[in-house]
Amino acid sequence: MKKERKRAVRYACAFLCAVFCLITLSSSVFAYSGSDYTDDEYLAGRLDKVFSGAAPLFQNEDKSYPIGSSIGTYPGSPHRVAGLLGYECYIYANAVYYYLFGDVPYHGDLGYTRSTVPIKKGDRITYELLRDNGVNCGAYVRTTSSPDGTYSGSTGHSFIVLNYDTEGIDVLQANNVGPGIISLDRWDWATLDMMLGDYWGGYISHVVNPNDAVSTSGDGEVVHAWTEWIVAVEPGCYKNGYAVRVCADCGRVGERIIPAGHVFDKGVETLAPTWEKDGQIVYTCTVCGHTETAVVPKLTLADFFSDVTGKEWFCPYVEYAFRNGLMNGVTGGKFAPGKEMSRAMIVTVLWRIEGEPAPAGESPFGDLKADWYRSSVAWASESGIVNGVSEGVFAPDDPLTREQIAAIVYRYSEYKGRDVTASGDLSVFPDEEDVSDYARAPLAWAVGRGLLQGTNVKGKIILDPRGGATRAQVAAILTRYLSE
């Protein structure tokens, strides 16, 4: 696997290098890309090399250490490395620096040819201070408890500057919290000052910058002339792929993982959802044939109407009316529960319940303009279920009142031969006198049957007989009537 990846990356890099022909470097130029150090896969690969045990030696003070030796265990996460103790963190930070920047910072008291002026306790560590002192991305920073700024093994802290701007600093830290913790972190400047003053010894002994000059954007970030990404290894269903790119200025090669994954089709619904049970869709990978099943939630009113959430008082009634074909939605995918029902609408609902029978003759009303209600009104009229508002006038678009729906459903029950002897007491309602004479018996029957209940207006339960009946209220009345 690793050999295949190296071979593919090598071929891709060769191709990119051919594109740029002759990229020559007189020295090891430090190259930085901020994305590299927030990319888990990239840093994990670097740390793998650190801990491989096969890396070259590097010099640290008066000892030579093979990179990867005697530095604890690597738990598999690019963000945390545990198990390091004391001086091993020091060695580890040097090793990571080497693999990130191709350079080894020299430590001890022998002088620092690439050091900046030591920063003393009390100096505010800011973007401007680091910039003015020439601190580049990739700089190795060592803190100390020595007032003169020298480092001689005293309490301190090590970190590598990955990036910084006016808001804060990105660092790879050694000796972070407790012994042996290495982490990637971002500190704002106030927190950095607090950590330096209270936890890291108080002084900065030295700042070791990368070996060569760095071209920056002016904000502490190196600018590369990257090529476009070239796919070196195509990803598969179970195997990651890789892409590479090359900087035309410094020759640095960047790598990026292309995650493995299936390429699924649009799916086939193998079980349709119902109002009672979930359904399912099976997706098939077009490459390897692997299948995955997804649950399709059972139907709810929200699947059909955008203005019904499923929590309103009228939802059970609307669901019954909709599922049984009594009422449909309005335009725009809405049910419009608060919209007033028209006289033509209620007649059409009853006509649907009866199976949409053809009328025997023409309607006596001359104001029936729309085809969708013409047959239903004609049928209801000849069946004695509805009357006009005046001679030859039905007023199909007028709002349906509460007393009108009581009268229409009452007459429909008579048409069906059902018992209409039940009678409620209208005198309990303070607006009983507002009931029209033709509607008194139907309203008393509807109240007695529990089909029509009072409505709360300013704390009083009233009949509101001439008030408009909304679509939600009609759904409730019809559900109570038909489900008994």
314-368 pLDDT, tens digit per residue, is: 999 999 999 998 898 888 899 999 999 999 999 999 999 999 999 988 889 999 9
On whether the CB atoms of residues 105 and 97 are closer than 8 A, the answer is: yes
SS3 312: coil
As a whole number of angstroms, the distance between CA 240 and CA 260 comes to 4
Q: With CA atoms as reference, report the closest residue to 159 among 112, 122, 110, 105.
A: 105
Q: What is the pLDDT of residues 135-187, one digit of tens each?
A: 777 777 777 777 766 665 555 677 778 778 888 887 776 554 444 445 667 78
Q: Indicate the DSSP class of residue 89.
A: H
Q: What is the pLDDT of residues 48-100, one digit of tens each?
A: 555 554 443 333 333 333 333 333 333 333 333 434 444 455 555 666 666 66
CB-side neighbour CA atoms (13 Å) of 101: 27
As a whole number of angstroms, the distance between CA 300 and CA 303 comes to 6
Structure-token match 């049928």, residue found:
379
User: How much is the pLDDT for 273?
Assistant: 95
Which residues, 6+ apart, have CB-to-CB distance to 379 below 8 Å? Answer: 351, 354, 357, 358, 359
Provide the pLDDT confidence category of residue 454 given band limits of 50, 70 and 90. Answer: confident
Residue 239: other Cβ atoms inside 10 A = 11
C-alpha 244: how far from chain center? 29
Cross-strand bridge partners of residue 439: none
Q: What is the pLDDT of residues 255-279, one digit of tens each?
A: 777 878 899 999 999 999 999 999 9
56's tokens: 């070259």
On whether the CB atoms of residues 380 and 351 are closer than 8 A, the answer is: yes
339's tokens: 């919209």
On whether the CB atoms of residues 310 and 439 are closer than 8 A, the answer is: no
Q: With CA atoms as reference, report the closest residue to 313 among 336, 334, 329, 337.
A: 337
State the Cα angle at 176 between 149 and 91, rounded to 5°: 70
Residues of the chain with pLDDT > 70, as a percent, come to 65
Residue 286: other Cβ atoms inside 10 A = 11
SS3 253: strand
Beta strands 460-462 and 158-164 are unpaired
Q: What is the pLDDT of residues 1-60, one digit of tens each?
A: 555 555 555 555 555 544 443 333 222 223 334 444 444 455 555 555 555 544 433 333
pTM for this prediction: 0.49
Cross-strand bridge partners of residue 57: 66
348's tokens: 């059409």
Lowest-confidence segment of 13-27, 210-224, 233-247, 326-340 by average pLDDT: 13-27
Radius of gyration of the chain (CA): 41
206's tokens: 């030295």
Lowest-confidence segment of 348-352, 371-375, 421-425 by average pLDDT: 421-425
As a whole number of angstroms, the distance between CA 319 and CA 364 comes to 35
State the Cα angle at 236 between 235 and 240, rounded to 5°: 50
426's tokens: 């209208």
